[in-house]
Structure 1
Amino acid sequence: MSDDRYLTVTALTRYMKRKLETDKHLKDIWLRAEISNFKHHSRGHMYMTLKDDGARIQSVMFASQNKGMKFVPENGMTVLIRGEIGLYEPQGQYQLYIQHMEPDGVGALYQAYEQLKEKLEREGLFSAAHKKPLPEYPEHIGVITSPTGAAVRDILTTIKRRYPIVKVTVLPVSVQGDRSAPSLVQALSYAEEHDFDVLIIGRGGGSIEELWSFNEEIVARAIHRVSIPIISAVGHETDFTISDFVADVRAATPTGAAELAVPAREELLHRLVQLSNRMHYVVRQGYSQEANRLSKLRGSYAFRYPEQLLRQKEIELDKLSDRLSRAGTTAVSARQQQFTTLVNRLSLVHPGKQAQSYDQQLTALQARLKQAMEKRHQSEQQKFLHQINKLSLLNPLETMKRGYSISYKQDTLLKSVDQVTKGDDVQIHLEDGTIDCIVKEVKEDTNG
């Protein structure tokens, strides 16, 4: 039987969900809490647990809500939250849907600034090894800033006053608002593809919100990629942006950037005057030294007595000619002696003489070999005869010539009377033949 008093889990969960969603006090929740178990999903959603000393609640901030956040939440960070309570039906669990979040005690922009600064510094974007030197005498300067602000007027006025011969091109950009960062990146890309010797990028001072475009990561990385030296001039002396750290040189103000980009005309004129004075001094000194040398040459012996000097040189030439001749004769003689010595040494190693010497050596060796072989043959022949004689003494045939015989019984040598019995066939071998016998009687030697 069914009983209408019993609910399903789904029905109960949906009832609780409607209750939570219709409670006006749970539609706009403001919380201060600590983040734990933070996870940033690949689809952009942020999942976390919000907690304090007494409780915790599961929370989610969808990608559409966190897209404009200026900082990245981290575990252990205390934040200020605004959101609403809802219930996740599949698990029957209530949770907080976050609509807005910012760090507690520190502004979101300042938090984002510190996080990006730390990140880029770890990657080496601020390293001095990447800083490019500014050209001493630039020919073409690019100015990336707002075309209507006070900064561009200060830069152009300063450059015209200090170094009017340089070419200046203003690359107009938006320096504030949502479109300013992409505008700055586009101008940097354009400058990289054109002929600039140095770039000035910046704007006048303002709040951190107004200067924020120069703290964007895409702008910092675009500055790092550009191969042209860059001067960053953002804000006033006390304002530092991420762009200031990445740029090759940081100027406190736009006017200061212009002064760093070009030399001063007055300084150049002063240097030209100094160089001109030094050049005239060097020329005068050189002229004076050469005049003294000429005066000495005019007063020298060669100019006063040229004929005597010529005679002296003629005599020296004759002496040198004789020395050269003697040296040539001596050298030829030494070379001839060396040649004779080499010919004699060569004759000693001539192939014909070597062959004759080897032939004589071969003949002598053949004679020695023949003599040694004959001597060895005689020695071996004597040894052979000696062995033959020894074998002859042991040869049974020789013994049989003296009247002895050998007896066999069925090819077995008889050595004892015990080997035969009466009636056995026995063969007696003599020197000149064999006698077949039948044993009639066997007698043992009783004397033995």
Structure 2
Amino acid sequence: MLDSARALTVSELTDAVKRAIEQAPALYDTVVVGEISNFVHHGSGHMYFTLKDRDCAIKCVMFRNWNQRLLFTPSDGDKVYLRGDVTVYKRGGNYQLNVFSMEPAGQGALALAFAQLKNKLEAEGLFARERKQSIPAFPARIGLITAPGSAALQDFLTTASGQGWPLTTLLAPALMQGLGGASSVITALNNLSRLELDVIVITRGGGSLEELSVFNEEAVARAVAACPIPVVSAIGHETDYTICDFAADVRAATPTAAAKLVVPERAAVLQQMAGFDQRLRQAIQGRLTAVHSDFSRLRSRPILTRPWQLLLQPRQNLDYTAYKLQTILQNLLDARRNRLSALNNRLEDLNPRNVLRRGYSLIRTETDIINSVCQLRPGQDITIQLQDGSARALVQAVEGSKADGSKGET
């Protein structure tokens, strides 16, 4: 029979296990490596996930006050190193790892954070070429963000002043690394952006990834991209790249390179201008020569030397056309005149007066012309028309053929 006096409640047993685990030296401030799965970033800010290997898994929690210090964003499948304490979650009776530090396995946290932020901002279009502003060819007022007394400041000022142009350089001092560096750079950038400047240069010397981490922060990159004045980023050495370099309008490899980029050398500019002047003169002279040649060629053309000759052929064509038209009209008139004459002759031949002139006479009554004896009767008044007048007569008798063809006297 079980000894009920020795029986523990569930809470008592859980508390005992919790004390045993939390007091075990091997389970305190321990480092463990594994793969993240079931990752959840809760609305409270806490992170919950499972760390697993091929055979086992352990639940993990990373509270907000710890995960805010992470330089990268964990996700399922990431292999990481965790540092924390093993504890017991009493309500579920489960043991878990309370994490207060996390680093990616295989690459540094800063390198991973750099890649993640670069991909994020690039996907937003923050680095797009169409967002970039052009650097003025000859800036007169330059804003400079760097650490006071730094080698970068000295290199930039020495190089810029040696380019041979009158310049005004306004320094906005800032912390270029360490705690508070990001906010210091952003404040300096905001202060300069309110001034009438031609360009702003952010520069510092080289350093490790940790030392340059200020310029890999998202807030700095967004402030640079949003600046209304063109920004040149000259962070580190030639092989150093930061997120700020991608967000800026132009990247320069070093402070010296930035000064040469922003302020062109006077002698080189004058030499370039002389070259432009020579090429311009050559182009103008070449154009004048070509125009003169074209003018000479045009001046020798017949249209300018003997313009009247160009009118000879059209004039001959016009004269010939007029002659042809006149001939056609004359022929047409002659044909019509001949036709009219023929008709007139025909009418003359048919004119009764001409018949009378040949010795004939015309007999008629008051209403009819008599052309047959059948139309006459004795006692009828008739008129005899002769060529020179007429006479009235009375028919005494009618002789001639009858209507039926027989002969007789009436």
Q: Shorter-chain TM-score: which interval?
A: 0.5 to 0.7
**Structure 2 residue identity aligned to 1:42:** G
The 5 A counterparts of 1:18-417 are: 18-271=19-272, 273=274
**Structure 2 residue identity aligned to 1:53:** R
CA RMSD of aligned residues (A): 2.3
Which residue in the other structure is 2:16 paired with? 15
Deviation at 1:105, TM superposition (A): 1.2
Distance (Å, rounded) in 1 between the aligned partners of 2:59 and 2:228? 48
Distance (Å, rounded) in 2 between the aligned partners of 1:248 and 1:47? 40
Deviation at 1:46, TM superposition (A): 1.1
**Structure 2 residue identity aligned to 1:247:** A
Deviation at 1:269, TM superposition (A): 2.9
Deviation at 1:282, TM superposition (A): 11
Distance (Å, rounded) in 2 between the aligned partners of 1:98 and 1:282? 74
2:6 partner SS? coil
What TM-score results when the alignment is normalised by the length of structure 1?
0.60
1:162 partner SS? coil
Distance (Å, rounded) in 1 between the aligned partners of 2:116 and 2:223? 18
Distance (Å, rounded) in 2 between the aligned partners of 1:214 and 1:123? 18
- Are 1:6 and 2:7 counterparts? yes
**Structure 1 residue identity aligned to 2:262:** A
When residues 282 and 9 of structure 1 are mapped into structure 2, their CA distance, relative to the original with a 3 A threshold, is closer
**Structure 2 residue identity aligned to 1:30:** V
2:130 partner SS? helix
> 1:154-196 deviations in whole A, cap 9, x for unaligned?
1111111114312111111110101111111111111111111
1:255 partner SS? helix
When residues 41 and 283 of structure 1 are mapped into structure 2, their CA distance, relative to the original with a 3 A threshold, is closer
> 1:380-422 deviations in whole A, cap 9, x for unaligned?
xxxxxxxxxxxxxxxxxxxxxxxxxxxxxxxxxxxxxxxxxxx
> 1:286-337 deviations in whole A, cap 9, x for unaligned?
xxxxxxxxxxxxxxxxxxxxxxxxxxxxxxxxxxxxxxxxxxxxxxxxxxxx
**Structure 1 residue identity aligned to 2:46:** H
1:4 partner SS? helix
When residues 146 and 95 of structure 1 are mapped into structure 2, their CA distance, relative to the original with a 3 A threshold, is same
Distance (Å, rounded) in 2 between the aligned partners of 1:284 and 1:100? 75
2:88 partner SS? strand
Distance (Å, rounded) in 2 between the aligned partners of 1:76 and 1:274? 61
Deviation at 1:7, TM superposition (A): 2.2
When residues 150 and 91 of structure 1 are mapped into structure 2, their CA distance, relative to the original with a 3 A threshold, is same
Deviation at 1:275, TM superposition (A): 6.9
When residues 275 and 75 of structure 1 are mapped into structure 2, their CA distance, relative to the original with a 3 A threshold, is closer
Q: Percent identity?
A: 46
Distance (Å, rounded) in 2 between the aligned partners of 1:34 and 1:78? 4
Q: Which runs of 5+ in 1 are unaligned?
A: 286-448
**Structure 1 residue identity aligned to 2:155:** D
2:171 partner SS? strand
Deviation at 1:239, TM superposition (A): 1.0
Distance (Å, rounded) in 1 between the aligned partners of 2:219 and 2:282? 56
Distance (Å, rounded) in 2 between the aligned partners of 1:274 and 1:114? 45
**Structure 1 residue identity aligned to 2:260:** E
Q: Which runs of 5+ in 2 are unaligned?
A: 287-410
What TM-score results when the alignment is normalised by the length of structure 2?
0.66
Distance (Å, rounded) in 2 between the aligned partners of 1:278 and 1:76? 63
Which residue in the other structure is 2:404 paired with? none
**Structure 1 residue identity aligned to 2:244:** S
Distance (Å, rounded) in 2 between the aligned partners of 1:279 and 1:79? 65
Deviation at 1:277, TM superposition (A): 7.2
Distance (Å, rounded) in 2 between the aligned partners of 1:269 and 1:5? 100
When residues 280 and 128 of structure 1 are mapped into structure 2, their CA distance, relative to the original with a 3 A threshold, is closer
**Structure 2 residue identity aligned to 1:178:** L
How many positions carry a matched residue from both structures?
A: 284
**Structure 1 residue identity aligned to 2:253:** A
Distance (Å, rounded) in 1 between the aligned partners of 2:84 and 2:283? 83
> 1:217-264 deviations in whole A, cap 9, x for unaligned?
110000011011111101111111111111111111111111111221
Distance (Å, rounded) in 2 between the aligned partners of 1:112 and 1:28? 25
Deviation at 1:270, TM superposition (A): 2.8
**Structure 2 residue identity aligned to 1:105:** G
Distance (Å, rounded) in 2 between the aligned partners of 1:73 and 1:10? 34
Distance (Å, rounded) in 2 between the aligned partners of 1:131 and 1:279? 31
Deviation at 1:4, TM superposition (A): 2.0
Distance (Å, rounded) in 1 between the aligned partners of 2:169 and 2:208? 29
Distance (Å, rounded) in 2 between the aligned partners of 1:116 and 1:275? 45
> 1:130-155 deviations in whole A, cap 9, x for unaligned?
01111111121011111211111111
Distance (Å, rounded) in 2 between the aligned partners of 1:15 and 1:164? 79
Deviation at 1:91, TM superposition (A): 1.0
Deviation at 1:271, TM superposition (A): 4.6
Distance (Å, rounded) in 2 between the aligned partners of 1:283 and 1:72? 63
When residues 239 and 281 of structure 1 are mapped into structure 2, their CA distance, relative to the original with a 3 A threshold, is closer
When residues 92 and 280 of structure 1 are mapped into structure 2, their CA distance, relative to the original with a 3 A threshold, is closer
